[in-house]
Amino acid sequence: MPTPPDTAWYPVARSDDAPARHIFHGQLLSQELAVWRADDGFVNVWQNRCLHRGVRLTVGDNDGGELVCRYHGWRYANRSGGCTYIPAHPADAPAQTICNTVFPSVERFGLIWTTLGSDGEPPLVDTLEGASEFGLRPLPVNAPADVVLDHLGSYRFAPAGALTGDPAVRVAGIGDASIELVSTADGHESAAVFFVQPVDAARCVIRGVLAATPGEALAIPVLRHHNHRLSVLRDRIESSVVGHPPGASPAPAARADERSVVPADRAGLHHVRVGRRWDEADGIVGFALEPIEGQLPAFQPGAHIDVHLPNGLVRQYSLTNGPGQTRHYLLAVKREPQSSGGSSYLHESLAEGDELHVSAPRNNFPLRRDVTRTLLIAGGIGITPLVSMAHALSHAGLEHELHYFARGPEHLAFATEIDRLSTRLITHLGLSPEATGVALRTMVADPGPDTQIYVCGPGPLIQATRDAAAAAGWPDQAVHFEYFANPTVLDQSSSFEVSLARSALTVSVPAGRTILEVLRDHGIAVPASCQQGACGTCSTRVLEGEPAHQDVYLNDSEHRAGDAMMICVSRSHSDRLVLDI
Amino acid sequence: MSLTEVSAVCTDRVILDRWHPISALAETTPVPQRTQLLGAAIAHRRVGDPEPEVWLVDDAETPDAGPPLPVLVRYGYVWTSLGDPIDLFEIPEFDEPDRRRLNAGSIHVATSAPRAVENFLDLGHFPYVHTGLLGAEPHTEVTEYDVDIVDGEIWATRCQFFQPQAAQNASGGQMTQYTYRVPHPYCVLLYKSCAIDPTRRDTIGLFLQATSPETCRAHNFLCMVDEESTDTQLRRFQQLIFGQDKPILENQQPKRLPLDPRVETPIRADKSAITYRRWLTELGVRYAVVPAD
Amino acid sequence: MLKLYDYELSVNCYKQRLLLGILDVPYEVIPVDFFPGWEHKSEAFAAINPLGHIPVIDDDGYVLRDAHAILVYLASRYDPSGRWYPTSDPQLLGEVAQWLLFAEGTTNTASAARLHDNLGYDFDIEAVRTGAHRLFRVLDEHLWFAERQQRPWVCAASHPTIADLALFPDVVLSEEGGISRIDYPALRRWTDRVKRIPGFSPMPGIFPATPASTG
């Protein structure tokens, strides 16, 4: 009998072995597996090992959207297995590279299938296709898979309608890791397929499926019939292999480390399709972007993606997804009156079924979860990252309130969605700038201990919030903000020299050009994204000189410290800057 | 665990030439007790003061006799060596007259000794593993601390963590200060702000007896400033804490500590663990670890 | 007040703490230095239990030993609903007694392996592990068929009984005795259900359960 390849698909659990909020402990070809179903129904099959210190994930928590390691509370996202939160460093977004080893999963015939390879699909089984299949109790056997498959050829069982009859059983087919048997007695017939899951070199699990579901009254008797007969067979097999030492392990433990279920092209972009488009509020359209292949990379609350539009423009949008909502990226786009082709394209031209490319999520606005209270302040479309935060805080059971400034009720987005969360929502509608200031001063009047503020919206609202918080005595580090655009009118009149400490190169930056542009002219690749001092991607360490900050990414104390700058917009007060590049 | 792993006798000179703990002195008996050290079967018995006898069981037929091994009694424990041992580290607090010195239990753990050391150095797990005792959500942040090598020992200082109940006799939450010290590849000590006398620090030690490359016996050592608690209460709290760590340790894979930093995913909070792994590499330790090369 | 002679890491003491917590009965812990002090083998302790083991309870002068006997007493005395020890239903009561005896078996195998592996007790480790696996196969099969009949607990009732609490600690701590539960998925799901019983408290070695989905 041929040995199936280690990369073949095998069943590793019954579908009902993975109920909500449970983690099934499985093993295939020596590889231990953590199998868990998220609340959206998706079944995850992961290497059973936290990336941090190697603790089994099966001793952790399935919280419905994420798997949480028991040791240090590291959280891993449904589907992609990407790490979304490291509690020891609550102010940081985990690196995109911290991603669990994830295996594909398919549910078929009431079984959960996976493969340690990467391609293809579970086998087709004609007998079970389109049948009302009926799964038997799986039986682990302390014997090698090939030995068990041999013995299954002599398995004797009765058809469902004639359990006490004297059956004739024939072998209807033998696969690499399965066998089909047909039993007939007293005019009744039952077809059954037995898959053999190799656990390791010395153990396997028999997973039997009948091709037809017996009547309700017969279900338990049929299950007991097979369970009894298979147990007898198991005892016989196990006593026949006693004394046979287990062979060498057929598979290394971490064989799949180099694979990823998150496909990206060479530019690091992901190919997605508009799965759904809807009107979220007056002038605001929602989009759900689904992966065309595989899974999307993990995100955290506060994260955004670059959307590469078919018209060549690149725009950044915050994700509004909650934890575990990983089937698609959710965006909400407001039509900007002065749109230069970004929001107007999305509103006018992007339809369901259209395809486009997006970057992996980045997060300049990470949400701390080590505080007892959180104030979220949104202005207009600035609601988007805060919706994602409200989801996460509700999910974690942390106290928070969301102040939502908008021109009128018709402009409120996500009202029903927020209503389902534990969020305390306070709307502020149609306020004048003065009234807005009064409202902000009231909500930040008391800088409570263990409280953090997150604000997103138009520049003036953010500035007013920062001013009010500073006046009330909030430390800078407790006030987090994200601008969609840099409202500063950039001054590019200065000229100066920049020395690159690590590249041993000095360049001149003339008026009208940015440091970033000049470096690129010299062939020096510096990661950058928004190029307007908002996203933080091009943050660079300053070793000498006094930067002239024009960004909105760094806070005031970071600006004063002067040891980092955004080279896409900021310039120099001194004649010379020395950068750590 | 396969038989070959259990019987793998240590050939690592760095480890062989050290003193290793094998029993609390108070728990030795005139009747020989068998145990295992670095894959070798050994036995010990009390023969009256001052020192017990320790010998190698090189013949299973005669377990009560065998080639004698060196003996050292320090810190309430019996130490021995399979090689030519260098001096044992000093614990100056042990000699302070008002200290409570206690053997708080020797518990077998199905993991390597270095995994247990590393866990003992770790702060970030307090809210998750010692919930309500040494930590509690949402207070999960590990703030920056210093790690240095001083006189060949690792010292981690300026460590602090929020604790809802810092010790058996503590009440209410507080930031607790810690200093950690690794003076021996398989021994680790912590100095912790004392709930009773803020000018002094309790000393808690974990002395690991590496029974095999993938198993160890953890000797819990207490040297406390505490006049109120009974021995039973002090032991109960220490065993409660260690009992919570144990299943985490036993669910780590691989059991031997990987010294290549790329095998696992260290973060800033793991500074002391990163230093410990590098220090083991620099010492040339190969037993109970997965060497970096 | 009810007194419990207790050792933190003892499976049989934990069974009492678990039930007392679930029934919300106040009690006083009398810590016994079981290890390394061997206080339960001391002359003083022989006056409390001549067999020299724990747990023992002292309920206003009524002294009772043996883990499963104490569960019977506590449930009968302190559970007014009568569900934890259902004396009014003969068949159910028979089942409870059957599984309490089964739990003596898991204590003598799975928990014996744990004492061997943790504290160095002198047991034939292969024999007790094999014995535990034999019992776990039976219990997993029982619980798998119970799930098929919408019965979440060991006995055929909609509410857990002291049989669940007598079995749970031996099962859930088995890995400390080198007995993996990877082959017993129904057993693993049942331990999740026990952990979600209101008033549940863990002991060292037992991780808390994720709360069940509220949605």
- Classify B21 as helix, strand or coil: strand
Q: Which pLDDT tens digit goes with each residue over B188-222? A: 999 998 877 888 999 999 999 999 999 999 999 99
Cβ neighbour number for residue A386 with a 10 Å cutoff: 33
Distance CA A570, CA C36 (A): 66
Q: Which pLDDT tens digit goes with each residue over B128-142? A: 999 999 999 999 999
- CATH top class, domain B3-80: mainly beta
Please count the CA atoms within 13 angstroms of the CA of B223 that sit on its side-chain side: 21
C-beta of residue B288 within 8 angstroms of C-beta of residue B213: yes
Distance CA B112, CA B250 (A): 9
Q: What is the H or E stretch that residue C135 is in? A: helix C125-148
Instruction: Say which of C118, C178, C206 has its CB closest to residue B107.
Output: C118
- Enumerate residues 187 to 206 of chain C having a beta carbon within 8 A of any beta carbon in chain A: 188-189, 192
Neighbours of chain A (3+ CB pairs under 8 A): B, C
C-beta of residue B168 within 8 angstroms of C-beta of residue B233: yes
Cβ neighbour number for residue A182 with a 10 Å cutoff: 18
Angle made by CA atoms B224, B226, B229, in degrees to the nearest 5: 115
C-beta of residue A83 within 8 angstroms of C-beta of residue A98: yes
**What residues have CB less than 8 Å from A54, skipping those under 6 apart?**
B252, B253, B254, B258, B264
Which amino acid belongs to residue C107? Answer: T
Burial grade of A344 (CB within 10 A; 0-12, 13-18, 19 or more): middle
Strands B20-24 and B77-80: antiparallel
Distance CA B125, CA B138 (A): 12
**What residues have CB less than 8 Å from B250, skipping those under 6 apart?**
B109, B110, B111, C175, C176
Inspect the interface and report whether the beta carbons of B247 and C35 lie closer than 8 Å: no
Strands A106-108 and A111-115: antiparallel
Tokens standing for residue A90? 């609550």
Predicted local distance difference test score (pLDDT) of residue A511: 87
- Which CATH code is given to the segment(s) C90-195? 1.20.1050.10
Predicted local distance difference test score (pLDDT) of residue A364: 87
Inspect the interface and report whether the beta carbons of C210 and A62 lie closer than 8 Å: yes
Instruction: Say which of C141, C182, C207 has its CB closest to residue A59.
Output: C207
The verdict on whether omega for the bond into residue B254 sits within 30 degrees of 0, i.e. cis, is yes
Predicted local distance difference test score (pLDDT) of residue A574: 92
Is the dihedral angle over the CA atoms A382, A384, A390, A396 positive or is it negative? negative
Predicted local distance difference test score (pLDDT) of residue C57: 98
Determine the distance in angstroms separating the CA of A536 from the nearest CA of chain B, rounded to an integer.
Answer: 21
Predicted local distance difference test score (pLDDT) of residue A535: 66
Which has the minimum average pLDDT: A231-245, A320-334, B92-106, B108-122? A231-245
Write out the DSSP string of B118-177. HHHT--TTHHHHSBTTTB-TT-------EEEEETTEEEEEEEEEEESS-STT--S-EEEE
Predicted local distance difference test score (pLDDT) of residue A258: 44
Q: Can you tell me which residue has the tokens 């005595």?
A: A473
Predicted local distance difference test score (pLDDT) of residue A261: 62
- Does residue B112 surpass a pLDDT of 90? yes
**Neighbour order of strands in the sheet with A269-281:** A314-318, A304-308, A355-359, A269-281, A284-291, A329-334
Tokens standing for residue B245? 């760590």
Tokens standing for residue A579? 């950068």
Q: What is the H or E stretch that residue A25 is in? A: strand A23-28
Instruction: Say which of C149, C185, C212 has its CB closest to residue A24.
Output: C185
Q: Which pLDDT tens digit goes with each residue over C171-192? A: 999 999 999 999 999 999 999 9
β strands within A211-344, DSSP E: 269-281, 284-291, 304-308, 314-318, 329-334
Distance CA A194, CA B136 (A): 48
Tokens standing for residue C95? 């089942």
Predicted local distance difference test score (pLDDT) of residue A311: 79
- Percentage of chain B with pLDDT > 90? 81
What ranges do the domains of chain B cover?
A: 3-80, 94-290
Contacting residues of C for A224, CB less than 8 Å apart: 145
Residues of chain A with pLDDT under 70: 1-3, 243-262, 266-267, 340, 484-489, 529-530, 534-535
Contacting residues of A for C183, CB less than 8 Å apart: 140
Predicted local distance difference test score (pLDDT) of residue A254: 44
Q: Residue A210's closest CA among A174, A157, A262, A257?
A: A157
Predicted local distance difference test score (pLDDT) of residue C214: 59
C-beta of residue B285 within 8 angstroms of C-beta of residue B12: yes
Q: What is the H or E stretch that residue B126 is in? A: helix B126-129
Strands A284-291 and A102-103: unpaired
Inspect the interface and report whether the beta carbons of C33 and B231 lie closer than 8 Å: yes
Exposure string of C158-176, with b = 16+ CB inside 10 Å and e = fewer, is eebbbbbbbbbbbbbbbbb
Domain ranges in chain C with CATH number 1.20.1050.10: 90-195
Tokens standing for residue A383? 């609601």
- Classify A196 as helix, strand or coil: strand
Q: Residue A57's closest CA among A36, A84, A41?
A: A36
Inspect the interface and report whether the beta carbons of C181 and A21 lie closer than 8 Å: no
Fold for the domain defined by C2-78: Glutaredoxin (3.40.30)
- Does residue B4 surpass a pLDDT of 70? no
* Rounded CA Rg of chain C: 17
Q: Which pLDDT tens digit goes with each residue over B48-91? A: 776 899 999 988 888 888 999 999 999 999 999 999 999 999 99
Q: Residue A236's closest CA among A182, A155, A165?
A: A155
**Mean pLDDT of the residues in chain B:** 92
Q: Does B238 touch chain C (CB under 8 A)?
A: no
Instruction: Say which of C181, C183, C210 has its CB closest to residue A63.
Output: C210
Strands A31-37 and A43-47: antiparallel
Helices (H), A35-159: 145-152
Inspect the interface and report whether the beta carbons of B103 and C36 lie closer than 8 Å: yes
Distance CA A481, CA B20 (A): 55
**What length does chain B have?**
293
Flag whether the ipTM exceeds 0.90.
Answer: yes
Q: Does B252 touch chain C (CB under 8 A)?
A: no
**In which band, very low, low, confident or very high, does the pLDDT at B262 lie, cut at 50, 70 and 90?**
confident
Distance CA B265, CA A39 (A): 28
Instruction: Say which of B129, B142, B266 has its CB closest to residue A71.
Output: B129
User: Taking each helix axis from N to C terminus, what angle separates B113-120 and B231-250, rounded to the nearest 10 degrees?
Assistant: 120
Cβ neighbour number for residue A275 with a 10 Å cutoff: 15
CATH of B94-290, one of 3.40.50.700, 3.30.428.10, 3.40.640.10, 3.90.380.10: 3.90.380.10
Query: In chain C, which residue's Cα lies nearest the Cα of A203?
Result: C183
Distance CA A30, CA A202 (A): 10
C-beta of residue B167 within 8 angstroms of C-beta of residue B202: yes
Predicted local distance difference test score (pLDDT) of residue A266: 65
Torsion of CA C18, C21, C25, C26, to 10 degrees: 100
Burial grade of A485 (CB within 10 A; 0-12, 13-18, 19 or more): middle
Predicted local distance difference test score (pLDDT) of residue A484: 67
Determine the distance in angstroms separating the CA of B37 from the nearest CA of chain C, rounded to an integer.
Answer: 14
Backbone angles phi, psi at A200, to 5 degrees: -155, -165
Q: Does C182 touch chain A (CB under 8 A)?
A: yes
Distance CA B137, CA B122 (A): 16
Q: Which pLDDT tens digit goes with each residue over C92-130? A: 999 999 999 999 999 999 999 999 999 999 999 999 999
Contacting residues of A for C211, CB less than 8 Å apart: 21
Cβ neighbour number for residue C36 with a 10 Å cutoff: 20
Report the residue of A21, A57, A230 to disrupt the C interface, i.e. the one with the largest count of C CBs within 10 Å. A21
C-beta of residue B201 within 8 angstroms of C-beta of residue B132: no
Contacting residues of A for C188, CB less than 8 Å apart: 22, 24-25
Contacting residues of B for A54, CB less than 8 Å apart: 252-254, 258, 264
Query: In chain C, which residue's Cα lies nearest the Cα of A221?
Result: C145
Distance CA A573, CA A542 (A): 13
Report the residue of C144, C183, C214 to disrupt the A interface, i.e. the one with the largest count of A CBs within 10 Å. C183
**Neighbour order of strands in the sheet with B146-150:** B100-109, B215-224, B201-212, B187-193, B174-184, B153-163, B146-150
- Does residue C14 surpass a pLDDT of 90? yes
- Classify C119 as helix, strand or coil: helix
Instruction: Say which of C35, C120, C176 has its CB closest to residue B247.
Output: C176
Predicted local distance difference test score (pLDDT) of residue B82: 97
Distance CA C116, CA B66 (A): 25
